[in-house]
Structure 1
Amino acid sequence: MGADREGSARRGPARAVAYAACGAVLLGGCASMPDSGDLRDVESTPRQDTQVRVFAIPPQQDASATEIVQGFLEALTSDDPNYDTARKYLTKAAAKTWQPESQTTVLANGPSIQTDSRPVNREGDSGITYTFQGSRVATVDAQQAYAPADGAYRRTVHLTKDGKSGQWRIDSLPQGVVMGKSDFQRNYTSVDKYYFASDTSAEETGQPVAVADPVFVRSSVDPTTQLVRSLLSGPTTWLGPVVRSSFPTGTTLKKGVSGLAPDDQNRVTVPLNVKASRIGSAMCNEMATQLLFTLRNLTPTVESVAVQSVSGAHMCDANEEQAETTAWRASTKRPEYLYFLDAKHRLVRMATGGSGTTGAVAVPGPFGAGTKPLRSVAVARDERTAAGVGSDGRALYVTSLASDGSLGNAVLTSHGATEDDRLTAPSWDARGDLWVADRNPAKPQLYMLAQGVGQPLAVQIPELNGRVEDVRVAADGVRIALVVEKDGKQSLLVGRIERTKSDDQQEVSVLELRSATPGSEEVTAMSWAGDSRLVVVGREQGGVQQTRYVQVDGSTPDGPAPAALTGVLAIAASEDDRVPLVADSQDDGIVRLPSGDQWQKVVKDGSAPVYPG
Structure 2
Amino acid sequence: MAGPTRARSAALVLGLAAAALAGCVAIPTSGPIATGSPAPVDESPPIPLAALPQQDDTPEGIVAGFFSAARAGVFDDFDVAREFLTRNADAAWDPRERLLVAASDPELSMDGDMVVAVVDLAGSVDSEGVFQEAAPGSEVTLSFGMQRNHANQWRIADLQNGIVIRDSAFDASFSPVPVYFATPDWQIAVPEVRWLPDQSALRRAVLALFDGPAPWLADGVANAAPPLGAPVEVADPGADGVVTIDLPAEAFQESWADEQRGHLQAQLEATLFTGRLRGAVSSVGLTVASSNGPVPLPVQPDEVPTLLTDPQPRSGPYAVVDGVIADVSGELAEPVADLPAVTDLAAPNHPAVSADGTLWVLLDGTRRLVLLPAGGAEPETLLEGADLLPPSVDRFGWVWTGEKDSAGLLTAVLPDGTTVPVNAPLLADRQLRSMRVSRDGARIAIASVDADGRSTIHVASIVRAADEAGEPRALGDGALTVGASLTDVTELAWSTEQALAVLGTAAGSEQRAVYLATVGGRTTLQQVVAEGTVGLAAARGNDGIYVVDTDGVLRLLRGSSWVETTSGVVDPVFPG
TM-score with structure 1 setting the length? 0.75
Task: Report if the CA contact (8 A) 1:107-1:180 is conserved.
Answer: yes
The match for 1:313 is 296
Provide Cα deviations, 1:34-76, integer angstroms capped at 9, x if missing partner. xxxxxxxxxxxxxxx9622212133356655554332211011
Find the aligned partners of 2:78 and 2:484 in 1 and give their Cα distance.
Answer: 31
- Select 1:298's aligned residue among 260, 276, 280: 276
Any idea what the Cα deviations from partners look like across 1:189-229, whole Å, max 9, x if unmatched? Answer: 222211123xx43xxxxx4442222221123x322112222
Tell me what 1:59 maps to: 53
Distance 1:177 1:562 in 2: 31
Shift of 1:259: 2.9
Runs of 4+ aligned residues of structure 1 deviating over 6 Å after TM superposition are none
Structure 1, unmatched stretches of 5+, are 1-48, 118-127, 202-206, 351-355, 417-421
1:484, distance to aligned residue in structure 2 (A) = 1.7
Structure 1 residues 448-496: Cα deviation after superposition (integer angstroms, max 9, x where no partner): 3354443322333323232213221222333222222345836242142
Give the match's secondary structure for 1:338.
coil
Partner of 2:517: 550
Task: Report the Cα distance in structure 2 between the residues aligned to 1:602 and 1:113, rounded to whole angstroms.
Answer: 53
CA distance in 1, matches of 2:381, 2:541: 34
SS in 1 for 2:388: coil
Tell me the equivalent position of 1:234: 212
Q: Which amino acid aligns with 1:568?
A: T
| Counterparts of 2:333 and 2:231, CA distance in 1 | 52
CA RMSD of aligned residues (A): 3.4
Matches within 5 A, 1:494-573: 494-499=458-463, 507-509=473-475, 511-540=477-506, 543-553=510-520, 555-556=521-522, 561-566=525-530, 567-573=532-538
Structure 2 CA distance, aligned partners of 1:252 and 1:368? Answer: 63
Q: Indicate yes or no: 2:81 matched with 1:86.
A: yes
Say whether the 8 Å CA contact 2:236–2:243 is kept in structure 1: no
Shift of 1:298: 1.9
Does structure 1 conserve the Cα–Cα contact (< 8 Å) formed by 2:324 and 2:342?
yes
Contact 1:436 1:446 in 2 (8 A): no
SS at match of 2:561: coil
- Residues 499 and 516 of structure 2 are in contact (CA less than 8 Å); yes or no, is this contact kept in structure 1? yes
Could you tell me which residue of structure 2 aligns to residue 133 of structure 1? 118
The residue aligned with 1:425 is: 390
Aligned-residue offset at 1:545: 0.6
**SS of alignment partner, residue 449 of structure 2:** strand
Deviation at 1:100, TM superposition (A): 0.4
Alignment partner of 1:481 is 2:445: yes
* Structure 1 position 515, deviation (Å): 3.5
Q: CA deviation at 1:327?
A: 2.3
**Structure 1 residues 432 and 455, CA, compared in 2 at 3 Å: closer, same or farther?**
closer
1:211 equivalenced with 2:190 (yes/no): yes
**Which residue matches 1:284?**
261
Match 1:413 to one of 376, 381, 384: 384
Change in 2 beyond 3 A, CA 1:413/1:363? same
Measure, in 1, the Cα distance between the counterparts of 2:61 and 2:104: 20
Alignment deviations for residues 520-542 of structure 1 (CA, whole Å, 9 cap, x no partner):
33212211112231111111365
Counterpart CA distance in 2 for 1:195 and 1:273 is: 22
SS in 2 for 1:77: helix
Gaps of 5+ in 2: 1-42, 289-293
CA displacement at 1:376 relative to structure 2: 1.3
Amino acid at match of 1:140: V
C-alpha distance after superposition, 1:159-206 (max 9, x if no partner): 33333x555432322111123333333333222211123xx43xxxxx
Whole-Å separation in 2 of the counterparts to 1:239 and 1:451: 25
Report the counterpart of residue 189 of structure 1 in structure 2: 175
- Quickly say closer, same or farther: Cα 1:459–1:218, change in 2 above 3 A: same
DSSP 3-state at the match of 1:182? helix
1:341 and 1:525 map into 2 onto residues whose CA distance is 15
Using a 3 Å threshold, how does the CA distance of structure 1 residues 284 and 83 change in structure 2: closer, same or farther?
A: same
Q: Which has the higher contact order (CA 8 A, sep 6+)?
A: 2
Matched, 1:458 2:425: no
Change (3 A) 1:154 1:564: closer
Secondary structure at the aligned position of 1:376 is classed as strand
Q: Residues 267 and 538 (structure 1 numbering): CA distance in 2 closer, same or farther, change over 3 Å?
A: farther
Do the aligned partners of 2:490 and 2:535 also contact (CA within 8 Å) in 1? yes
Residues 370, 75 of structure 1: CA spacing in aligned structure 2 closer, same or farther, 3 A cutoff? same
SS at match of 1:247: coil
CA contact (8 A) 2:327 2:335 kept: yes
Match of 1:389?
363
Identity %: 21
Alignment counterpart, residue 246 of structure 1, candidates 219, 224, 233: 224
Kindly state the Cα deviation for residue 99 of structure 1 after the two structures are TM-superposed. 0.4
